[in-house]
Each structure stands twice: as structure tokens, then as C-alpha cells.
Amino acid sequence: MAGMKGLKKQRRIQVILLAFVALAAATALVGYGLRDGINFFRSPSQIVSDPPLPGEMFRVGGLVETGSLVRGQGATITFSVTDTNVSVPVRYTGVLPDLFAEGQGMVALGQMEGNTFVATEVLAKHDETYMPKEVVDALKAQGVYKDPKAPGS
């Protein structure tokens, strides 16, 4: 009988270890699968104070600086994105969203080439009061965010 209890205990430990190894393997596979899909957000001030690594994909967000939108030949557009402290020039080749406009919130995905952010995707606001959460947080951290839904705004 004593041998039977020892066998059950040993089997239980083996099952627990096998479950732990399976959980670790599943976590590693999920992390490996998401490695290219995780893009960090940066405000223009963060880009200037802590420059990204060469080739690093990330999202930048803020307000499209008034007077900076230039539509070039073909589908290339340049503009600046600002958090009201710092502006970063952006170059994008493609069709901008219909709601994209100067003075409005936007988020772009891409990477830095020199001092210019080269966007592969540009997202604009949804309605006249929408601003991406990351942009709102960055503007609040700067102390310049004004809630458009607040009375008197």
C-alpha cells in the first residue's frame, strides 16, 4: 500500500510539471506570434526626447499641425503631427482617410527615416469630438488637453 501512495504522488507531480511546461510553451508561442503585431505608441515629444531605434515600427499620434499639410505629386502627402510642444514631420504615400484634416487628431503607424516619420498607415478621428486615447493621454500629460464635451468648450 505504501508503494501505491508513492506512485500516486509521483504521477501527480509529473502531471503538474507537464502542465507547467505546456503553459510555458503556449505563452512562448503566443509571444512569438505577436512579436510583429505589437506596436508601441509615442507622442512627438517622446520621439524627440528618446529617439526610436533604426527600423523600429511604432505608432505616433497627435494633432495634424495647421498649415503643414502638403499634397505632392501623385499620392505622397507630407504633414506634421504635434502634441503642441514638438512637431514631427510625416510622409505618407497613399489615400488619407476622409476625416483626416488639419487641427484634428490622428495616429500613424510607421518608422523614422532621419528626422521624418514615414507612415505606412494613417488613421483619423471618427467624429468631431473623437481623439485617440493615446493622444488624449499625451495631451493631458502636457497639460494642454481641453475636453470638447465639457461645458464651455
Chain segment 7-20, per-residue pLDDT in tens: 888 999 999 999 99
Is the full-model pTM beyond 0.85?
no
Tell me the per-residue pLDDT of 24-36, one tens digit each, with 9 for 90 and over.
999 999 888 776 6
pLDDT of residue 50: 86
Tell me the per-residue pLDDT of 99-151, one tens digit each, with 9 for 90 and over.
788 888 888 999 999 889 999 998 876 555 556 677 777 777 777 666 655 55
pLDDT of residue 14: 93
pLDDT of residue 103: 83
Asked if pLDDT for residue 83 goes beyond 90, the answer is no
For cell 499634397, what's the residue? 71
**What nine digits make up the cell of 53?**
531605434
134 three-class SS? helix
Residue 39 amino acid letter: N
DSSP letters spanning 10-78: HHHHHHHHHHHHHHHHHHHHHHHHHTTT--EEE-HHHHHHSPPPTT--EEEEEEEPTT--EE-STTEEE
Looking at per-residue pLDDT, the higher value among 73 and 23 belongs to 23
